[in-house]
Amino acid sequence: MSFFDVLKISATGLSAQRIRINVISSNLANANTTRTEEGGPYKRKDIVFREILEGELAGGVKVEKVIEDEKPPVLKYEPGHPDANEEGYVAYPNINPIEEMVNMLEASRSYEANVTVLNTAKQLALKALEIGRA
């Protein structure tokens, strides 16, 4: 039944965009983090989407993996900072808040588009139920 497939497809789109917003908010929250479990400053995270082919599920999209941005950290001269190196430079994550905000807007627009698809499919399915009622 095609309508339930559409509902599943837009649900995959919604969850993929939500994961993306999660990653973006983690990037923004850690924009100044200099200590991580692996050591060194926080590395910017990004996610890779992949199309779900028909047969695996109904179709749709999924998050293939979360990748780390290997951009070099930004060095700031702060000799008083506990994480400063011998020359007095502190390595900060290379995160551009404007870039993150733009990505966040894009993700939220895509999320809204998927919500619209879901509502339309729901409305069409209910309309189909009305055939032969009267």
Partner 1 sequence: MNIFSATQIDKLGFALDVTSYKNKIIAENIANVDTPFYKAKKLDFNEVMKNAFDNGKKLPLYVTNPKHLMGKNDLISPASFVKYQNNMSVRNDGNDVNLEYEMSEMASNGILFNMLSQITGYEFTRLKSAIQGR
Which residues are near partner 1 by CB under 8 A? 2-3, 5-6, 9-10, 12-13, 16-17, 20, 48-51, 58-61, 106-107, 109-110, 113-114, 116-117, 120-121, 123-124, 127-128, 130-134
**Closest distance of CB 75 from partner 1, Å:** 29
- Report the nearest approach of partner 1 to the CB of residue 30 (Å): 22
Q: Closer to partner 1 by CB, 21 or 84: give it.
A: 21
Shortest Å distance, C-beta 48 to partner 1: 7
Residue 108's closest CA among 25, 4, 2, 7? 25
45-52 and 74-77: which strand pairing? Answer: unpaired
Question: Helix crossing, 97-129 with 2-29: angle to 10°?
Answer: 160
Nearer CB in complex with partner 1: 16/90? 16
Cβ contacts of 97 within 8 Å, gap of 6 or more: 28, 31
Nearer to partner 1 by Cβ, of 98 and 131: the residue is 131
Using the minimum distance from each CB to partner 1, give the nearer residue, 15 or 26: 15
Neighbours of 32 (CB within 10 A): 12
Expressed in angstroms, the distance from the first to the final Cα of the chain is 24
